A and B are shown apart, each in its own frame.
Chain A
Amino acid sequence: MYIYILFVVILTLSALLIHSYKVKKTKAQQLDGLSNIINIKSLISLVQKHRGLSAAKLNGDLKQKAELSDIERKINKISNDLSNKKVATSCRWISFQDHWSRLTKQNIDTDPQNNFKQHTQMISNLLYLLEDEAENSHLNSLSLTAMPNIGYVWRELVASTETIGQSRAIGVGVATVGNCSSVDKIRLSFLEQHIKLTSKDILSKLSFLDSFSGQHKTLLTTAQTKMTELTNIIEFELIQTSSITITANDYFTLATDSISAIDDIFNNQLEQIKITL
């Protein structure tokens, strides 16, 4: 009889230990996932910069060579750090590494259009990897009940930085040449619609903790203002106008400010998640 009671007590204690271990493991997974997500986000930003600089280099601007090498070094460092994590087993990560190594070797021979396409594919892969990592690390609405719309952060919010990044690349080219071809108009209009959707629809759906309410709303207003300004410039200064007067630098700055505003919201969301964990 006593043995049976002891047995039950041991089972109960085991259950408690197992539960504690589960909770710790989940939290560790979430923290690890958060760290990986920060690294992947940095990778995305660096690859976006690499896209722009390598395009400039392929168009004859050799002054960017040093900065290009610096960015490649940073990407390689982050890649090495992530290669030791569980995310390295993901087929998307393996695909990115393979693509990156091929791209850095072939960069001399590729043409600007192909270069843009290759970088965009890599960034798209990294965006999916970020979302997968968030899901696999239980950084979703099921686990983070205080932030039910966290899924928009890992997909729509991060994707919007890439949408603005693409519009920046195309827009800078258009402003430099002083002419917007039909294909550029179609692409820019399409990207503009995406940016408008993010600004009007997605940003307002992001969840936030009560303690971050003021900060969140300020960041949202800033981002929406920047994005509205950007979409207006795209619509009226690049697409609809017969004579393009905006300089490449001004457009680049405006687009970069919009990306920075989105990044601020992203970082703010990460801060809130850390507090939740």
Chain B
Amino acid sequence: MLNTFVWPTRQLVKYIGFKAYVAILVLFIFTQVVLAVFLITDSNTASTLLLINACLVCYFSLSLIVIFSREIVTFKTALDSLDPESFDYRSLKLHSLLPVESIEQFMNTYRELNRVNNKHHEKLHEVDYSASQVIEKAHAVSVNVQKQSDATTSTAAAINQMSQSFVEVNNRIADVHTSSKNANQDAKNGRSTITDLRSSLNIVLNEAKNTQQDIQQLEQLVKIVTTSSESIQAIADQTNLLALNASIEAARAGETGRGFAVVAEEVRALAHSSREAADSISSNINAALTQSHKIAENMANVVEQTSHCQSQSTLVDDALIEITSATMLVQQKMENVSATAEQQSAATLEISQHIELVVQGARDNAEIVKQTEIVAGHLKMLTQ
């Protein structure tokens, strides 16, 4: 009912504005005063008008008071309905009849607060998102650090193994060094043996050569003997001829020549025996000659082989010299390798110690990352 009562005033204020309405109200009040003055001179008309005017003034004043109180209640309701989260001024619909400037100022301030609130919300969202990213990255770093730690631990174990291998290698190098020393010594011994062998071979060669010369001399003598036996053969043949002639003459001689024939016959037999002996000597000499030829050939082979052995022994000696040099070189290199292996072993030990430090560092990093993740989680929680 009250709404119906104030409806005309509300429409009038909407139509002409609050200031104009107040001006009209003031005019009506002024009119009331004027009419009150007129009442003295023209009582009937003035009193009627005064009454009408008074009613109008009362109505306008009362309805204005009611509108004011209603506006205040509406304003309070609107403020109560504000969403403190969004602070959105557009949700604050104020159809106010009150002076516009104050409402406008209020709305401006509220709008600025809305912007500040939005900015903070955006910053919070960005911080929230950044915190999520930090958590994600921290987790990834944590995983990587764990992998790094595992890889480093494996590397440390491998380096320890490598260090032990280096020790073993060093021992093997020492063995090789000893072996090369022994080889060097054996080569030297071999050389001295070869030298003795060469001396013996020289002796053998000389003896073989001497034997060859003796055989040659023997051949010469055999040839002389052969010549002599040929002579004997020739003599035997001549003797046989002679004996034959003698036999023939003896035969010619008849009875007187019988004794001569017997002698001739005996001479012939003697010549025959001589011839046979000479033939035998000749064949034996030939056999001896053949044998001596064989011996000479064999001796020549012996000389050849001995020479060959000598040259081979020279080659062996040269090879042994090379072996000696090589083993000396191997010894020197083994000594270098041994020194290097010792250095590497020391370096490996140092690396192993550093790897331990890296492992410890990785563990510390993992802990820091974990703490970072917790802090980022806390930050994210704060933004919610």
Q: A135-B107, A142-B93 are in contact. Are A186 and B17 (CB under 8 A)?
A: no
B294 within 8 A of A: no
How far apart sit A141 and B125, CA to CA, in the bound complex (Å)? 29
Asked whether B125 lies within 8 Å of A142 as measured between CB atoms, the reply is: no
B137 touches A142 (CB 8 A): no
CB of A123, distance to nearest CB on chain B (Å):
14
Contacts of A1 in B (CB 8 A): 45, 48-49
Nearest CB of chain A from residue B44's CB, rounded to whole Å: 10
Q: A15 touching B129 by the CB < 8 A rule?
A: no
Residues of A within 8 A of B48 (CB): 1
Separation of A185 and B115 alpha carbons in the complex (Å):
25
Q: Is the CB of A186 within 8 A of B130?
A: yes
Interface residues on A, range: 20 to 34
Contact between B90 and A182 (Cβ–Cβ < 8 Å)?
Answer: no
Nearest-neighbour CB distance to chain A for B173, whole angstroms, equals 49
Q: Which residue of A lies closest to B94 (CB)?
A: A142
Q: Contact partner of A18 among B17, B53, B95, CB < 8 A?
A: B17
* Contact A182:B137 (CB < 8 A) given known A11-B27, A15-B15, A190-B129: yes
Distance (whole angstroms) from the CB of B35 to the closest CB of chain A = 8
- CB-defined contacts of A182 to chain B, threshold 8 Å: 133, 137
Using known A-B contacts A19-B16, A141-B90, determine if residue A132 contacts B111 with beta carbons closer than 8 Å: yes
**CB nearest to B35 among chain A residues:** A4
Residues of A within 8 A of B20 (CB): 14-15, 18
Q: Are A186 and B133 in contact (CB under 8 A)?
A: yes
B39-61 with Cβ < 8 A to chain A: 45, 48-49, 53
Contacts of A190 in B (CB 8 A): 125-126, 129
Tell me the minimal C-beta distance from A160 to chain B in angstroms: 14
B16 and A142 contacting across the interface, CB-CB below 8 Å: no
CA distance A238 to B129 in the complex (A): 17
Residues in chain A near residue B45, CB distance under 8 A: 1
Name B7-57 residues within 8 Å CB distance of A: 12, 15-17, 20, 24, 27, 31, 35, 45, 48-49, 53
CB of A22 within 8 Å of the partner chain: yes
Q: Check A142/B12 contact, CB under 8 A, given A11-B24, A182-B133.
A: no
Q: Mark A6-44, 1 if CB is under 8 A from B, else 0.
A: 010001001100110010000000000000000000000
Cβ contacts A128-169/B at 8 Å (1 or 0 each): 100110011000111000000001000000000000000000
In the assembled complex, the Cα of A34 lies from the Cα of B260 at a distance in Å of: 190
For B107, what are the chain A residues with a Cβ–Cβ distance below 8 Å?
A: 135
Alpha-carbon gap, A15 to B20, bound state (A): 8
In the complex, the answer to whether A186 meets B93 with C-beta atoms within 8 Å is no
Q: Does the CB pair A189–B129 fall under 8 Å?
A: yes
Q: Which residues of A contact B108 (CB under 8 A)?
A: 132, 135
Bound complex: CA A151 to CA B27 (Å): 40
Give A4 to B49 CA distance when docked, in angstroms: 8
Query: A192-221 CB contact bits vs B (8 Å, 1 = yes)?
Result: 010000000000000000000000000000
> Which of chain B's residues have a CB closer than 8 A to the CB of A142?
93-95
Residue among B16, B94, B126 with the highest chain A CB neighbour number at 10 A: B16
CA distance A190 to B127 in the complex (A): 10
User: What residues of chain A lie closer than 8 Å to B12, measured between beta carbons?
Assistant: 15
Tell whether A128 pairs with B115 under 8 Å between CB atoms, given A4-B49, A15-B24, A190-B125: yes
29 contacts between A and B (CB under 8 A): A1-B45, A4-B35, A7-B31, A11-B24, A11-B27, A15-B12, A15-B16, A15-B20, A18-B16, A18-B17, A19-B15, A22-B17, A131-B111, A132-B108, A132-B111, A135-B107, A141-B90, A141-B93, A142-B94, A142-B95, A151-B90, A182-B133, A182-B137, A185-B133, A186-B126, A186-B129, A186-B130, A190-B126, A190-B129
Chain A positions within 8 Å of B, measured between CB atoms, are 1, 4, 7, 11, 14-15, 18-19, 22, 128, 131-132, 135-136, 140-142, 151, 182, 185-186, 189-190, 193
Q: Which 4 pairs from chain A and chain B are nearest by CB? A: A151-B90, A18-B16, A18-B20, A15-B16
